Each structure stands twice: as C-alpha cells, then as structure tokens.
Amino acid sequence: MLKSHPQDFVRTWIEIDRRSLFFNLRKFQKFAGKALVMAVVKSNAYGHGLALIAKCLTTKDKRMWLGVDSVTEALRLRREGIKNPILVLGYTLPMRLAEAAKNNIAVTASHFEALANLARAKKRPQLHIKIDTSMHRQGFQEDDLPRLIRELRKEHLMPEGVYSHLASAENKQFSKKQIAAFTRALNFMRSAGVALKHVHIASTGGIMRYRLPFANLVRLGLGLYGYLPDRRVGIVRPVLTWKTIIGEVKRVKKGDCIGYDMTERLKRDSTIAILPIGYWHGFDRGLSKIGEVLIHGKRCRVLGRVSMDMAVVDVTDIDRKLKIKNEKVKIGDEVVLIGRQGREFIGADEMAKRIGTISYEVLTRINPLIFRTVI
C-alpha cells in the first residue's frame, strides 16, 4: 500500500479494487462448480495490470491457472515470482518453445505446423490442443482429428489439455452446436488413447450459461474485471477506476473556439478545465465533444477535440455552484474518467457505446505505462 496518494506524484493513475476483484471471482467460482478457474490476464489483464492482477489472485490460490497471450507475458509473470500454472493461448514462435519448457509454461497447438515445431524442440513444454468448433479462428477442425492423432503418436506428443472457444455464448442454439462438436472431438481423442488432464471451453459468458460436466477448467476473462459480454449490470462489480487531475482552469468567452481545428464554439461564457490526459493515454479521440468525465461528483462534457496528451472539459455549472460555497474548481481537483465519484458512475461500457466499440477495447487500450495501484 502507498504511504502517499498517487495524486502527489502522477497526473493520471489506475486504482484496482481488490474487494471487487475477489467478489467477482467468488461469483464465477459458484457458477463453475468443481471446475478450476483460469484467470485470463492477457493484454495487460484487460488493461488492469498484468503482474498486479496476477499477484493479487495467486497469493490466495496456488492452483489457479493464468491465461496469457504470449510467452513474453508468461515470462513476465515468472520473473515476478508467480509459480501458478500458465497457458499461452496465442501462437508461440518456434524459438520461444525452449523458454516455455524451461519455465513450466504450457503452450497451445492449433495447427499442424505448431505440432511440427514442438516435435523438433529439444525441450517440449506442456501442450494444450485447440479445437475449432465453428468459430473458425484458431484450432484443428473436426476433419483434422484422425491426422492429429497420427501426428501425436508419431512424434510422441502427449497433450495435457484440450479446449475450444464459444463464438457467442448468449446464442444458445449456436453454442450447443459448438459444445456438441467439442464433445465429439473430446471423445474421439480419448477413444484414441489420448489422456487429457484439462478440458475447457467456457469463458465468462459460457460459465454463466452452461453446465458442462466434461469440463474441469473454465477461463474467466471480462467477468473477472467486472464487466459482462452482453452488458448486463449488477451481477459483477467493476474493478478498475481511472483517475486524473485538473491541470489548468480558465474562463473563456462566448463565441471562442476550443482545441484543434476549432471544432467547438462556446455558446456561453464558460469555465473550462484542462486535463493532462489524451488519446496516448487511452482516452479515445472518438470522445471528442461527446465524452464525459466526473468532477466533484458531476458529469462534465469534453469540449473540442481530444489531443494526444490533453483534453478540455466544461466545468461552468460546477464552478457556479461552488462559488455559492465560496469555493471554486481548481488545479489538482480529482477527475474520474472511468469509475464512480459520488453518486455518478461512468463505466467502460458507457464509454464504449459512445464511440461505437466494446468495453474490451476501452479497457485494453489504457496505456500500460500508467501507474496502477491496489486499494
């Protein structure tokens, strides 16, 4: 824990709510039943902080799996002293297989070239086979299974796990077809003598909707961080709060323009606040003129274009109310970009809707260099 407040030494920072993180985990553990949870911490833990989140989770659970995209991410966790099982969900370059094996990092094979790379490796990491059940992204297709078995036998490759991915968990009709295809693949592999210790297909949406007795592992991603793929609210608690401060305040006259290309002309005499954040930090340029932030518990609209390192917001109404109390909006005041301040809340879902994207993108595009702390 910090002895001083982040506001004392950084202009923007992320706060990770430990209690909400574990609240969400417990919620999904109940859905998962006896299955172990793999916490998906790829892409900087969906913007929350790779090592920070992994350490929080693994301190309490040494059996929990961690899902990452690359060997690079996995090695970062090993350097942080994390010994939990790790699975690389993305493609692994042949030159990185030795590092994976040396550091007890499991990798995914989803095509025959990957199997050939593993066969040539002097040291082989643990292996999970990915099955394509009609999402048509990664994975061996059903017609590939006889050849897959032959190649596994020929090269003496012994996968410890098999998995697939649901394209749209809320679409029950399509998901049931995928689950049936995965079940056929699983049965085929087992009947061919492939011993599979770990079986998984459900991610956040699937964990909530389907009871899959053949699966003993689930992959918990977005739900762990307090958001759901179909934007339902109330079931989970957002873990991340993104804050900044006011870096400058000024009074500007009616008719004056704000920011690049004069895209915003003021319709009244205004008080504006300049925030030391911009699209480099992950505050999307699409929020120009339409985004909102929280200051003194009130919503303030973004004025003009969001710049690389700065954004301007309208604090006129707040300033007027504060003057009644002989106060004012001032440099150093706290600003919430994502999260709660007073009774108001701006979530990643809301921000995503404004710019025509999804919460995943809003969260993962927060700059990884921004200071993060657990509260």
> 42, 163, 227, 243: which one is catalytic?
42
**What is d(CA 227, CA 204) in angstroms, rounded to the nearest whole number?**
9
pLDDT for 15-62, tens place per residue? Answer: 999 999 999 999 999 999 999 999 999 999 999 999 999 999 999 899
In the sheet that holds 217-220, the strands lie side by side as 198-200, 161-163, 127-130, 105-109, 86-88, 65-68, 36-40, 217-220
**What is d(CA 134, CA 175) in angstroms, rounded to the nearest whole number?**
10
Measured over the CA atoms of residue 208, residue 203, residue 237 and residue 51, the dihedral's sign is positive
> Given phi > 0 = left and psi -120 to 50 = alpha, else beta, which region is 51?
alpha
Q: 97 lies in a domain? A: yes
**What is d(CA 4, CA 108) in angstroms, rounded to the nearest whole number?**
43
Residue 375 has a pLDDT of 95
Residues 213, 348 within the same domain: no
Residues 218, 259 within the same domain: no
Residue 7 has a pLDDT of 85
Residues 358, 333 within the same domain: yes
pLDDT for 212-265, tens place per residue? Answer: 999 999 999 999 999 998 766 578 999 999 999 999 999 999 999 999 999 999
Collect all residues with Cβ–Cβ distance below 8 Å to 9 and sequence separation of at least 6: none
Residue 60 has a pLDDT of 86
91 catalytic residue (yes or no): no
> 83, 154, 260, 321: which one is catalytic?
260
42 catalytic residue (yes or no): yes
Q: How many domains does the chain have?
A: 2
**What is d(CA 336, CA 344) in angstroms, rounded to the nearest whole number?**
10
Boundary of a domain, candidates 225, 256, 272: 225
Which residue type sits at 164? S
Q: Which long-range contacts (CB under 8 A, 24 or more apart) does 173-178 make?
A: 174/134, 175/206, 175/209, 175/210, 177/133, 177/134, 178/133, 178/134, 178/135
**Mean pLDDT of the 284-302 span:** 98
Q: Which residues of 44-59 are buried (b: 16+ CB within 10 A; e: fewer)?
A: bbbbbbbbbbbebbbe
The answer to whether 125 and 86 have CB atoms below 8 angstroms apart is no
What phi, psi does 265 have (nearest 5°)?
A: -110, 125
Range of the structural domain that residue 322 is part of: 240-374
Q: 134 lies in a domain? A: yes
pLDDT for 319-372, tens place per residue? Answer: 999 988 899 999 999 999 999 999 999 999 999 999 999 999 999 999 999 999
For residue 319, the domain's CATH number is: 2.40.37.10
Q: 275 lies in a domain? A: yes
